[in-house]
Amino acid sequence: MTTVLQLPPLDPASLLSGARRERDLAHLAAGGSTDVLVIGGGITGVGVALDAATRGLSVALVEQDDLANGTSRWSSKLVHGGLRYLAKGSPGVAWESAFERAVLAQRVAPHLIHPLAQVVPDFAGNRGTARLALVGQRAGDALRRAAGTPSSLLPHARHVDPDLALRLVPGLRHEGLMGASVGWDCQLVDDARLVVAVARTAAAYGARILTRVQVLEVDPAAGEVQAVDTMTGTTVTLRATTVVNATGVWAHELDESISLHPSLGTHVVMPTALVGAGHGSLTVPVPGTIGRFVLSLPQTGGISYVGLTDNETDTTDFASPQPPAADVDWILEILNTALEIPVTPADALGSFAGVRPLVSTGDHGSASSADISRKHLVQRTDQLITVTGGKLTTYRRMAQDVVDLITDAPCRTKDIGLIGAGPVDERLDVPEVLWRRYGNEAPIVWDLGELRPELREPLAPGSSHFGVEAEFGLAAELALTVGDVVDRRTRIGLVAEARTPAALRVAGLAAGRLTDSPGVDGALVG
């Protein structure tokens, strides 16, 4: 194995700010051509920007809103080993997932990824389901081993007794509990933070990252893209040898030959104490399906995301679709079958939904969207390459497939750590959650509060997000609005009642350096 290249903490070239955005946009608007222009600042787009930049190509990325504006912030935040795809008869997709999980968790982003026990309860009267889950988890183990992930990171799957099951998931229903099947997968600290880390790493290798630049039209033959700077309303013509359409569920708008089958996935935000989770993820089989589960996913700060649905949708709000109330009911109903004390929608702290950009193969007939392949699509027409579908877990591979079409230079991203990866000195007095979010940049983030102690206070009562995170977002992570801070650099906005106080606090701390402000109802106005 080759060694992983690590960037120094706070590498100056990795710092993204409003001032740098303006300089880079002015350069491109003045006619500066790039080798690769990527459209879309979700995980796929930033992944392509990083891959291309590290192969020596000049790169610009334009995103119509903020980084992680679309689907990439609404996922389950799992870096998964592909077990589900094995159950669906897609061994290729399963293997790709397991391989990419190994690369991300051990080399590229170990600071953002940690193991998670998935606990499938074994109740008397329904023992076949837990046994089947264990068979699946053992098959997942075989994939893990083949992909080179050691059992010291993700332990072997096994059946545990009721005592251990209850220690992992204390809220489990006691009646009829015979134990649990426990398998292991990987969890991201946050999906939007992964996007920002990849974007900053791409910037460190020379990519120009421009948010709030919306592409209106692509003329691949001329190598020209018409776009508008949505902060000023100015239109610009951008030039590139190759244009990459990485706009996820929007892909059809720039490339009409792409046909997608959008599917909506909902999660409910619950207090962890109520949904039974402790160290593990309560994983409840969906009746009448194979390989589908409702999962409670514990997060930092005492909250859990519980999901998820997978339903065809005709929504056109791809950036922040409304989670249907029926989805919330369905999720909690299934969760309740395994809980000692049932929960209701009134216990929820919030909910969120995202649209999967599933590639329409045209042969899925009446199959539900849950059955459609998660395989990604890379399609080249002249100088326009469209990449869509796939998943967060496989973003690196998707990017490799795209850039392989552009250059013969070998892909390097398996051997490049994201910003924040690398050795940390945990003796330093920094809150645990910051190590998990910022890796070896955590002490720098925390130090921002040395002269301004108010930055070391939580952004809202009881929140695990601190003022220093807002400040770091402004200084280094291209946060330009209050919404960027509360909804993407931090995820405080996912807890409905924390969002308004946090937005007011962020606007106060930023003292006019952000372009919007919260109104009395908490809505953000630019």
400 binds ligand FAD (CB under 6 A): no
Quote the least distance from Cβ 456 to ligand FAD, whole Å.
Answer: 32
Q: From CA 411, how far away is CA 295, in angstroms rounded?
A: 35
Pairing of strands 280-285, 293-298: antiparallel
Among 62, 105, 166, 294, binds ligand FAD (CB under 6 A): 62
Q: From CA 152, how far away is CA 154, in angstroms rounded?
A: 6
43 binds ligand FAD (CB under 6 A): yes
Q: Which is nearer to ligand FAD, 118 or 440 (CB)?
A: 118
Q: From CA 472, how far away is CA 430, in angstroms rounded?
A: 15
Quote the least distance from Cβ 436 to ligand FAD, whole Å.
Answer: 17
Q: What is the DSSP letter of 411?
A: P
Spatial contact of 277 and 168, defined as CB atoms under 8 Å apart: no
Q: Radius of gyration over alpha carbons of the chain, in Å?
A: 22
Which span (75-83, 168-176, 430-438, 490-498) binds ligand FAD, by CB under 6 A?
75-83
User: Token pair for residue 270?
Assistant: 């619950």
Task: Give residues 291-310 in contact with ligand FAD (rule: CB under 6 A).
Answer: 308
Q: Which is nearer to ligand FAD, 85 or 446 (CB)?
A: 85
Q: Which is nearer to ligand FAD, 199 or 430 (CB)?
A: 199
Spatial contact of 149 and 102, defined as CB atoms under 8 Å apart: yes
211 binds ligand FAD (CB under 6 A): no
Q: What is the total count of residues that contact ligand FAD (CB under 6 A)?
A: 39
Strand partners, 477: 16
464 binds ligand FAD (CB under 6 A): no
Q: From CA 65, how far away is CA 40, in angstroms rounded?
A: 9
Q: From CA 368, how far away is CA 284, in angstroms rounded?
A: 20
485 binds ligand FAD (CB under 6 A): no
Give, in order, the Cα–Cα distances in Å from 210 to each of 24, 476, 521: 8, 14, 30
Residue 151 burial (CB < 10 Å; 0-12/13-18/19+)? exposed
Q: Which is nearer to ligand FAD, 261 or 391 (CB)?
A: 391
Q: Which is nearer to ligand FAD, 46 or 411 (CB)?
A: 46
Q: From CA 487, how far away is CA 457, in angstroms rounded?
A: 18
Q: Which is nearer to ligand FAD, 87 or 459 (CB)?
A: 87
Among 215, 411, 459, 480, binds ligand FAD (CB under 6 A): 215
Q: From CA 187, how far away is CA 297, in angstroms rounded?
A: 9
Count the alpha carbons within 13 Å of 347 in the hemisphere toward its beta carbon. Answer: 17
71 binds ligand FAD (CB under 6 A): yes
Among 28, 60, 78, 160, binds ligand FAD (CB under 6 A): 78
Q: Which is nearer to ligand FAD, 36 or 507 (CB)?
A: 36
Quick check: helix, strand or coil at residue 112? coil
82 binds ligand FAD (CB under 6 A): no
The pair phi, psi for residue 301, each rounded to 5°, is 80, 20
User: Token pair for residue 241?
Assistant: 């040898």
Which span (38-46, 127-135, 149-157, 342-350) binds ligand FAD, by CB under 6 A?
38-46
64 binds ligand FAD (CB under 6 A): yes
Spatial contact of 195 and 43, defined as CB atoms under 8 Å apart: yes
386 binds ligand FAD (CB under 6 A): no
72 binds ligand FAD (CB under 6 A): yes
Among 55, 84, 111, 391, binds ligand FAD (CB under 6 A): 391
Among 16, 24, 38, 42, binds ligand FAD (CB under 6 A): 42
Among 196, 384, 392, 476, binds ligand FAD (CB under 6 A): 392
76 binds ligand FAD (CB under 6 A): yes
Quote the least distance from Cβ 43 to ligand FAD, whole Å.
Answer: 5
Q: Which is nearer to ligand FAD, 104 or 172 (CB)?
A: 104
Residue 3 burial (CB < 10 Å; 0-12/13-18/19+)? exposed
Residues near ligand FAD, by CB under 6 A:
39-45, 62-65, 69-72, 74-78, 80, 214-215, 246-250, 265, 308, 354-357, 388, 390-393
